[in-house]
């Protein structure tokens, strides 16, 4: 694999990949991937294509070794790496840069993909390069790259969790206020229930159940709205952090966890008002106007 860094208004990188590669699998969104018959063909980064107003079948010009070369766009792809990368045939790029049969980048796929196996494979490759007097400028495993990129997502994740926590606290206080007002307005009803033999635990359970039902109803209204809003948030975070939309999948387990949190929070928020309801005496309840 070979690469050339281009500078126009901003940097661009051409990666020359060999035919029938099993390592490079970009997410094609339009057109196709390179085939062995291609010559001056390029699979262009989708963001670059949008910025330049290019589509499949258009031509794009780059300066290589102070000479203008013309490439035909055969496909567009999205990447989670950057908006710099573009793919062209290895032989064509080698010929244009006068580096026939010479590569500058090696990618290796091992049998095992856990971090420790990748580290051992990297060490074995490094030892082999050193034994053959081959200097390397940069080494990275996919696990290391994944951890490096996860840092940006962790910041966004912690921010969203903090916002969710604050929303939970505000929602719990709102539910507590609602049930407290409900208890206050239903003092006479509580007195009637006491007069007919209702015990304090039963009265408390009534208000707890009402609170839980209110929470479940709010969950039912919120779930349909969460799908488009979550997709929008996913697209915004992807575009800001890795310059491309994330592959969106709605979490059913997250939805059910959300329901469980709503039920528990609703029940806990109603405990204080429910206990207040059990302390209302029959005389106070019947005298309430």
- pLDDT tens digit sequence for 41-82: 999 888 888 878 888 888 888 777 777 888 889 999 887 655
284: helix, strand or coil? helix
Residue 184: what pLDDT? 74
Domain 2-107 coded CATH 2.40.40: yes
pLDDT at 144: 74
Can you give the pTM of this predicted structure? 0.58
pLDDT of 22 reads: 77
- The CA distance from 167 to 183, in Å, is 24
* Of 22, 16, 178, 28, the residue nearest 93 (C-alpha): 16
| Contact present, 47 and 11 (Cβ < 8 Å) | no
Q: For 264-279, write each residue's pLDDT tens digit.
A: 988 888 888 877 777 7
Which tops the pLDDT comparison, 151 or 120?
A: 120
Residue span(s) of the chain under CATH 2.40.40 come to 2-107
Mean pLDDT taken over the chain: 79
Q: Note whether 246 and 234 are within 8 A (CB).
A: yes
In this structure, the number of other CB atoms found within 10 A of the CB of residue 59 comes to 11
Residue-wise pLDDT tens digits, 217-266: 989 998 898 888 888 888 787 777 666 667 778 888 888 988 999 899 88
Residue 89 has pLDDT above 80, yes or no: yes
Helix (H, G, I), strand (E, B) or coil at 198: coil
What is the Cα–Cα distance from 38 to 32, expressed in whole angstroms?
A: 11
Highest mean pLDDT among 100-104, 139-143, 206-210, 282-286: 206-210
93-101: average pLDDT = 78
Among the ranges given (29-43, 186-200, 258-272), the one the predictor scored with the smallest mean pLDDT: 186-200
User: Cα(38)–Cα(127) distance, rounded to whole angstroms?
Assistant: 36
Cα 259 from Cα 43, distance rounded (Å): 45
- Phi (first) and psi of residue 128, to 5 degrees: -65, -40
pLDDT given at position 7: 45
């Amino acid at each position: 694999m070979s690469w050339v860094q281009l500078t126009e208004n901003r940097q661009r990188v051409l990666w020359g990949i060999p035919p029938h590669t099993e390592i490079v699998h970009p997410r094609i969104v339009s057109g196709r991937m390179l085939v062995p018959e291609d010559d001056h063909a390029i699979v262009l980064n989708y963001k670059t294509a949008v910025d330049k107003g290019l589509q499949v079948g258009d031509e794009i010009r780059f300066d290589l070794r102070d000479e203008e070369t013309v490439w035909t766009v055969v496909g567009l792809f999205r990447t989670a790496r950057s908006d710099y990368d573009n793919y062209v045939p290895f032989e064509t790029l080698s010929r244009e840069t006068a580096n026939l049969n010479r590569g500058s980048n090696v990618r290796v796929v091992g049998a095992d993909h856990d971090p420790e196996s990748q580290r051992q494979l990297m060490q074995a490759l490094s030892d082999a390069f050193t034994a053959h007097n081959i200097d390397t400028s940069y080494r990275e495993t996919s696990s290391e790259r994944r951890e490096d990129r996860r840092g940006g997502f962790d910041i966004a994740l912690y921010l969203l969790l903090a916002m969710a926590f604050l929303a939970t606290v505000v929602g719990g206080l709102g539910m507590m206020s609602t049930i407290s007002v409900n208890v206050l307005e239903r003092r006479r009803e509580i007195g009637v229930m006491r007069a007919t033999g209702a015990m304090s635990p039963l009265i408390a359970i009534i208000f707890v159940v009402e609170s839980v039902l209110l929470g479940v109803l709010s969950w039912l209204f919120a779930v349909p709205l969460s799908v488009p809003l979550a997709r929008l948030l996913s697209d915004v975070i992807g575009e800001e952090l890795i310059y491309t939309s994330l592959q969106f999948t709605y979490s059913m387990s997250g939805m059910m966890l959300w329901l469980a949190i709503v039920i528990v929070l609703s029940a806990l928020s109603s405990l204080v008002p429910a206990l207040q309801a059990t302390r209302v005496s029959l005389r106070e309840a019947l005298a309430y106007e």
